[in-house]
Every structure is written in C-alpha cells, then in structure tokens.
A and B are shown apart, each in its own frame.
Chain A
Amino acid sequence: MNPKKLLYLGLGCALFIAACRHGGMTYQLRGQVLDKNLTTNEITVNHEDIPGFMPTMTMPYKVKDPAVVEELEPGDKIAAEVVVARNGNDYWLEDVRITDASGRRTTKAPAPPQRLSAGERVPNLSLINQDGKTIRLDDFKGKSVLMTFIYTRCPMPNFCPRLSSQFAKIHEDLAKTPDVYAKTHLLTVSFDSKYDTAPVLRRYGLAYLDNDASGFAQWDFASAAAPDLRKLADAFGLIYFEQGNQIAHSMDIVLISPQGRIVKYWATEWTTAELEDALSTEATVKPARQTAQAVGMQ
C-alpha cells in the first residue's frame, strides 16, 4: 500500500474511533467555572446556551477525568464537550479546555439560596390544581407529601419529563399498598403559570396517570400566581427564570411531613426507590415520634 493510501486509511480509522468514542451525542459548552467538588468530581458552570441540550444555565456537571477537576479553579473560563450517554440517562464533560484563566479565584460561587431548614413549617400557600380548584399546602396535613417543580413544555428528557416519570412510578408503586397510599400525596408544581393552565396541567397529568383521572386524588398538578410562586421559591430555595422561550430552573424535590414541616430536600442526585422509601417511611412513622420531633423543632 502506498504511503498516501496508508495515511488516508489511518485518518479514516482515527475519525471512526473519535466518532464511536462516546456512543452518544455531544454538545459544545462554553462557560465559567463557579465552583468545584473534588469528592463528587463535579464542577458548577455558568454556561452559555447549548443548542439542543440546555439554555443558558448555572448547573453542576460531572467531569470524566478527576485530574481536570483538580486543575480547574473557580473563575476559569472553559470550553468543553458535553457528552450525553447513548441511553440519554447520563451526561458529563470531556475535553475540558481553559480558554481564559485571568479571572481565576475572582469569581465566587453564588451563595446557596436561603430556604427553610428541615423541621421548619411550610407556609400555607395557595395553588390552582388541574381541576381549576384552589388548593393550599395545609390541605395535605396528615399526609406526607413529595413535591417537585417542573414546566410542561420542558423538552429535556433528563429534567422535567424524568421527574414526572419518576413520580408516576412512585404513584404506581404506592397504589399497590393502600394503607401507605392513603397517607401520602404527590404534588407537582409548574414554574410556568402563564402556559400551564388547569386544562394543560390536566392533560399533562393524565399522560402520567395512564389516563386514569382518579389518580388526581393522590397526585395534584398545580401552578401558582406569580407572587405565590415567588414565595414558594423563596421558601424552598428554588431558582427559576425565563430564558428565551424556555424556563431555566433548579431541580428540586421536597419531602414534607404530615405535620407540614420540611423533612428533606433532594437537588442533584436521587433514585426513585430512595424517594419512595423516604415518602413511605415518613407516612408510616409512629405519630408519637413525629409529635416529639415537632415539639423538639419548635
């Protein structure tokens, strides 16, 4: 084989290997590092719009190579590849390059938003549910409540659709144990009250309830007027803002006790089984223990 052909063959192989390297989709990210976590191998990046993946957002990303996390510092401007696994369930950064290190250590991570601590009482805010009915958070007292936040037009499968799918799985599982089912409630709240009106939320909810409207008795889909949504966001430390024609928001799940107090938050990592277990445990925990906890917390 002549050298030219060999060169082309080598180049072809290299391109093929590069294309097959991830087996998933890749997107280009440009942004600034705000924080790093050597334990979880994550960096928090304030990044520009990533067409097809994510609007402008500040969020944590896993980095494939731990050595890169050690090298990066808050303030560094970076370019990287976001790799989304072929099954779409995981994503991480590869090929991270520092494009500008002049702002190193001058940018501090934003202070975590103030939110109610575990044991604090949840405010009795009102929401409008999928039936157009006003519901108040105090209506769920006596039940443990798992609450999350979405918007129905979210096109990112790893975000709102995943949250709703996980809640659907929890709902299905709880329905198999009627005594626990009766002591729990799921609540999905939309960030997009303008678009997510009661009929839109009803249609969205039915898709996750296999078109069985009786499921709404245990799982409400609701939105709130702007001032109430703001109060809710402040209470739970939620971040949300309109970005172009999407809503950038934090991923949060809150567990509320039957006494209407915060039990736990999940913001980055969780499993459906973990959420389900925590919700069931909180619902079935002996009332005496709950009373003692409540008294101790006051």
Chain B
Amino acid sequence: MRRVHPSLRWWWLPAITPMLAIWPTCSDRQAKQKGEELFQQNCAICHEASNLDLKKQPPRLEGLFQRKTLRSGAPATDEQVRKAIINGIGTMPAFDQRLSTEDVNDLLAYLHELK
C-alpha cells in the first residue's frame, strides 16, 4: 500500500471547511425562500390586502418579531406565532393539517426577515 506522508493525511479538511462554513447559510437561505413562497401562497391574500370585507383587518406582518407582543397581546415569539398558524387566532383560520412542521419553520424564518 502506498504510504502517505502524515502531514497530507488531512488534506481534505481545509477543502471542506469553507463548505461546512457556508452550509448553514445556504440552508437558511433555502428556508427563507421556501417561507416566502408559502407566505405568498397562504398568507399574502389576507395579510397583504387592504379593506377586506372582514370583521377585523388582518395585520401586516412586517416587523412582526421586532414588536414585543402580537395583536392578541401574546409575546411575539416563535412559539406563539407557530401556535397562531396551527390553531388559528381570533378570526384567522387554523392551518392545522395544511402546513407541515417544516413549512411552519420555513414561514417563521421568512417572517423573521420581513421588515
């Protein structure tokens, strides 16, 4: 068997380090992109519209996580927003069984970026 100099045994490590470094960024970007698509498909029709013939106008969601509380008064946390999406809140319908856990994660990633 061909002998490899000990200093060359880990030659591949520097090669994959940058890939490992950018991996979370890529995956994060993909989540936000998917989140934006889901937002356009499911949320924009209410949250980006104005003067809907509804009892309460759905709020705009820009800066949602920059606020301390949601319109319901609950803290503006991932947990509360996830709960609102899945179970509905006030007149907002539940998206239970319509969006998967991964979908909601992607939506949350996008909503954090929506400023």
Contact = CB atoms under 8 A, between A and B. Distances in A.
Interface string A141-167: 000000000001111111011101110
Interface in B40-61: 40-42, 44-46, 48-55, 58
A153 B91 contact: no
Interface in B3-35: none
B94 A88 contact: no
B75 interface: no
Interface residues of A, number: 32
Given A52-B40, A153-B96, A165-B55, A84 B91 contact: no
A157 B55 contact: no
A207 B45 contact: no
A86 B98 contact: no
A208 interface: yes
Interface residues of B, number: 24
Nearest to B94: A153
Given A52-B41, A208-B55, A157 B46 contact: yes
Contact of A207 (B46, B48, B91, B98): B91
Contacts of A246: 98
Contact of A245 (B44, B46, B54, B98): B98
A229 B58 CA distance: 31
A175 to B, nearest CB: 15
Given A161-B91, A164-B91, A207-B91, A155 B45 contact: yes
A241 interface: no
A53 interface: yes
A255 to B, nearest CB: 20
A187 interface: no
Contacts of B55: 164-165, 168-169, 207-208
10 contacts: A88-B46, A89-B53, A153-B93, A155-B45, A155-B46, A157-B54, A164-B55, A165-B54, A168-B55, A246-B98
Nearest to A151: B93
